[in-house]
Structure 1
Amino acid sequence: MNVPIKLFAIALVLTGCSSTTENLLSPDGNIEIAITLTDKGEPSYSAKYKGNDIVLPSLLGFVLKDTTSLTDNFKITGIERSDFNESWTPVWGENDSIENCYTQMIVNLQQGDRKMDIEFRAYNDGFGFRYIFPEQTAKAFVIADEATQIAMAGDHTAWWIPGDYDTQEYEYTTSRLSEIRAHADDNFMDNASQQRFSPTGVQTALMLKTNDGLYLNLHEAALVDFPAMSLELNDTTMTFKSHLTPGQGGTIATIHTPFKTPWRTVTVGEKATDILASNLILNLNDPCVLDDVSWIHPTKYMGVWWEMITGKSSWSYTWADNFDLATFDYSKAKPNGIHGANNENVRRYIDFAAEHGFDQLLVEGWNIGWEDWFGKEKDYVFDFVTPYPDFDIA
């Protein structure tokens, strides 16, 4: 990023202040975030846009494995405030330069000898927050669950796909939040690549529209060395809770201090296109650390794929089923006659792409195992090493 145009001094307020609620305004004053410590020492936040609720009081923190959780009994030990404004140049994208203008507040929390800060940044088009674990006596925390909530202020219209660790290959459903459970099976296919974690789980980025016509988008930024976040809805209270992709052994992640989590983000727009035009996620992502970015550029490609979607050809080489794929001899299989990724067809695509200015060609279905759509034997036969008999292009 370029040198900041403007950076104001940080103010530190130590414990002893009379209020357990601190407010943060966006640069234009339209977004107001209230950060509160409840009577139980629980960190909580809420947000308004032009005086109207967009996020109701929502709890923050983490559940730890085999020890006291980082969810309550906190004390505020300090508040750090700052303003920031800069312009920076992206590697590529729609804009030659991006303005990064925000107000910031870091709430320093302490629970016994354990420290956890929560950093909030307010932009004119939304806000983000993340957890910061400073260097401290505890060198590591084993996370069993993230307790972050995003409580909606109404039964909004949502454009959503089911919460699924393995795939985003679903058609989007449009419904009220209260109707997600009823529509959970609408786009579900019983195959190996689809497995929902909850009937009210959804993936981010999640697009919402309030009854007043305000658009909200829930997502995350700077996802580095941490599990990806989906959202699980309590469809009685219309409150989302973060749902992290699980690891092994019943834990989510082990973090080593010092550590910063990804940002949890809420983008706000009065038109749907405001969400599309927002640079909130890009601004919250970490700056590029590469010295040479000349090799990063967009390309145009086409693929031997769409004709399979339309039914003209197939991913699989044969129609054979109800047999042991692990021991199946494809060289003796009867071709189905419409296998798409064959030498002749792929070369036809290559010639067309070269003639019409496409940079790359995606070829799907050239490797064995596509007969097993439902995943009964994919661990043994589906690979990206062994081609079908009719494909031998390097």
Structure 2
Amino acid sequence: MNNRLLFFLLGTFVFINLKTVAQSWSVSSPNNKIRITVELKQPDKNLIYYVDYIENSTTDPVINASNLGVQRMDELFMNNFSFEGITNRSIDENYQNATGKKLSLRNHANEMTVSFKVNNKLLNVVFRAYDDGVAFRYIFPETSGAEYYVTGENTTFQLPTDGSAWIQEFATFQPVYERFFSNGTPLNQNIFTQSAFPALFKTSKFWLLLTEADLHDNFFGSHLDAYYGNGTFKVAVPNQDDGNGFVNFAKSSLPWIMPWRVIMIGKENRTIAESNLVSNLSTPSTIADISWIKPGLSAWSWWSNLDSPTDFAATKNFIDFTSTFKLPYFLVDLRWNQMGNGGNIDDIINYANTKNVKLWLWYNSGGPTNEFYNDHPRDLMHIKEIRRNEFQRIKNLGIKGVKIDFFQSDKQEVIKQYIDILKDAADYQLMVNFHGSIIPKGWERTYPNLVTSEAIKGAEAYLFDGDNYRPNAPVHHTILPFTRNAIGSMDYTPVIIGEGRGVVHYTTDVHEIALLNTFESGETHLVDRAQSYLGLPAIAQKMIQEFPTTWDETRMIDGFPGTHVVMARRKGQNWYISGINGLNTEKTISLNLSFIANGEYAKQSLKDGNTPRDIVPAETNTTIQTNFNSNELMKPFGGFLIVLKRKACQESYTINNSATDVMDTYKASDKITSSVKILSDRNVNYDAGKSIDLITGFEVQPGGTFSAKMGGCTE
């Protein structure tokens, strides 16, 4: 009957023309709670998508009907679509990162690729559903060596208007993502300016974060267009003024794979803060051996003395501090090529080598569109041959990393420069830190030598925007783990101590030290003067010196953007727990530490004292037991920091779930009791002084290795 269905219903013949009925296709997350659906609508034959959350037989909308489409110069892929086909696959892989909230990650999702044609030209839309969100991307799958141009997107995110937003105004010229996030702006209000990714939202039932991932050198960095209180956020291309003359469209041959449009989704805000969705969506590492990538703490003199990089004596003194404080790295910032007063940069490199201090060097990204003409060294990073020669030169000198600044653009030509720098730096085993830069796009997975980037209004704002920054900094700190730091490492440059630099700050000194744990950055630069850190209590000094910058696990224990954050991170068997208070009132936090393996720990802690500059340090032994709780008081704009270091030999172990099964070797003076599965990729050893009890539930899966012996702590 040629696209007609015939039904016999209650004695009546009913004809339904399929050409007037929408077609739809869906894919769900591995836990079947999140579902994204795409529809081919009639009569315009346009594409929409929507996202639902299904739990206990109840379906709640997360993203309402939103537009899909791409504007290519030779064709508008916005309507007149015809369906061509669909493929599905499951993704389940494990991989390692060099930095981030969690180094060992699982990428687990269901994927659906739906193919369409417009005027005989193909467009694929790929959808992925994860347990913590969804993503989609556009692909032109045909093959052609000709150049094609994308001038925009039809992509929208249709949110309910009963929610709130934490979003940052987009800087339309020289975007560097260094403005405050709004603090819960109602979604029924107009936001006339454009907004930057990432954008955080709270609706009546869900937390959402919008961003993009897996951006390659064949596209530009996107943001969100102006908002008019109707729930519609639209993807926008770079502004024409951005980039000083570069075009604001993208070009490529075919096939052409564009970035993921990412929607993190959770019923609790901790889902957003803990998510690794940007990394999971990004291209796997292009560096086979990442063992040379060694993130860590770094001293940094520029904030405390802006002229120090040009002053050999001042820099030498800071290298002495770096060595005394047992930090692995020191960053020599801008204008180091103009160093005088007793020596030059070569002399500093030689001196640092005698102190076993590894150096990072600053560079201006340079190039004809870069207007920061007076900040040197510049024009060494935008031409491949010159850049590679410089990387070879400094590698031979023992330099370990480069901080490259002043990109100021999201256009395709600059995106290509970022990626070329990362590729070339990897060839010379150099780590990279981007400043004056774009937000993370998943490059930390693809190019793991990128250990951090700025794209944040950080501690340097105390120097240049102090009157505005000072009263807003405490709230700003509590928003960042849910926004900017949720998508990748963030070089905020924390830990201002006292006011010796002459910089007044409302946060307590404990709040500042707690930022080491509240924020995540593979390379963390300590911002303040040497004297500030050397004047701290001995326990505080030791805690800072030994603080990790990469993590095996991250948990948001408690928090709300704009008020407070309590963060827990694990490195090996040790836990680091921090709290910061964004409000000018005291706040007591009840800590439930049931996720920490039972046992004996050495505990170090820092708490607020009577004044914002007082620190109350403590060091003791403690025993963590099931449902262990403690109360922590934070003073106004205050905080706390706790380090729990597990003792090497415990009296006993009870290993019964994933929270207690975190090691490969267990030693106990008395007994070990286990009821867990040893998975196929594990090699586990139990060593007890008196008994090893393998009870119901214990199993060694094929491929797994398990051994047990008696000896315990005596060996």
1:43 aligns with 2:79: no
**Residues of 2 paired with 1:28 and 1:200: CA distance?**
38
Instruction: Specify the SS of the correspondent of 1:203.
Output: strand
Structure 1 or 2, whichever has the larger Rg, is 2
**Residues of 2 paired with 1:380 and 1:143: CA distance?**
30
Corresponding residue number in structure 2 for 1:103: 110
Shift of 1:152: 1.0
1:157-168 superposed matches below 5 A: 157-164=164-171, 165-168=174-177
Corresponding residue number in structure 2 for 1:371: none
Shift of 1:103: 1.2
Q: 2:196 aligns with which of 203, 209, 212?
A: 203
1:301 aligns with 2:298: yes
**Residues of 2 paired with 1:306 and 1:73: CA distance?**
57
1:64 aligns with 2:72: yes
Shift of 1:349: 1.6
Q: Identity of aligned pairs, percent? A: 25
Corresponding residue number in structure 2 for 1:228: 221
1:208-357 superposed matches below 5 A: 208-212=201-205, 214-225=206-217, 226-245=219-238, 250-307=247-304, 315=306, 342-357=311-326
Question: TM-score scaled by structure 1?
Answer: 0.73
**Residues of 1 paired with 2:189 and 2:293: CA distance?**
39
1:88-114 Cα distance to aligned partner (Å, 9 max, x none): 333444435322221111110101121
1:222-265 Cα distance to aligned partner (Å, 9 max, x none): 11121111112432322111112257575411121111111110
Corresponding residue number in structure 1 for 2:178: 169
1:280-328 Cα distance to aligned partner (Å, 9 max, x none): 1111100112222222221211222443xxxxx5x4x7xxxxxxxxxxx
CA RMSD of aligned residues (A): 2.9
Instruction: Specify the SS of the correspondent of 1:257.
Output: strand
Instruction: Specify the SS of the correspondent of 2:177.
Output: coil
Instruction: Specify the SS of the correspondent of 1:81.
Output: strand
Shift of 1:177: 4.9
CA contact (8 A) 1:27 1:101 kept: yes
Shift of 1:143: 1.3
1:144 aligns with 2:129: no
- Larger CA deviation: 79-88 vs 348-357: 79-88
1:127 aligns with 2:134: yes
Question: TM-score scaled by structure 2?
Answer: 0.41
1:375-394 Cα distance to aligned partner (Å, 9 max, x none): xxx947423139xxxxxxx9
Q: Which has the higher strand share?
A: 2
The code of the aligned residue for 2:178 comes to E
Distance 1:271 1:237, change over 3 A: same
Instruction: Specify the SS of the correspondent of 1:200.
Output: coil
Shift of 1:340: 8.0
Distance 1:76 1:289, change over 3 A: same
Distance 1:288 1:380, change over 3 A: closer
Instruction: Specify the SS of the correspondent of 1:383.
Output: coil
Distance 1:16 1:235, change over 3 A: closer
**Residues of 1 paired with 2:198 and 2:22: CA distance?**
35
Alignment size in residue pairs: 318
**Residues of 2 paired with 1:357 and 1:99: CA distance?**
34
Corresponding residue number in structure 2 for 1:55: 63
Shift of 1:176: 1.7
Unmatched tracts of structure 2, length 5 or more: 1-17, 339-369, 379-398, 400-715
The code of the aligned residue for 1:48 comes to D
Distance 1:299 1:73, change over 3 A: same
CA contact (8 A) 2:152 2:237 kept: yes
**Residues of 1 paired with 2:284 and 2:31: CA distance?**
25
The code of the aligned residue for 2:133 comes to G
CA contact (8 A) 2:145 2:254 kept: yes
Corresponding residue number in structure 2 for 1:185: none
Instruction: Specify the SS of the correspondent of 2:225.
Output: strand
Instruction: Specify the SS of the correspondent of 2:51.
Output: strand
Unmatched tracts of structure 1, length 5 or more: 1-14, 183-198, 308-312, 318-338, 369-377, 387-393
1:61-108 Cα distance to aligned partner (Å, 9 max, x none): 12233x431111111111112223232333444435322221111110
Corresponding residue number in structure 1 for 2:329: 360
Corresponding residue number in structure 1 for 2:461: none
**Residues of 1 paired with 2:246 and 2:325: CA distance?**
51
**Residues of 2 paired with 1:142 and 1:177: CA distance?**
37
The code of the aligned residue for 2:270 comes to T
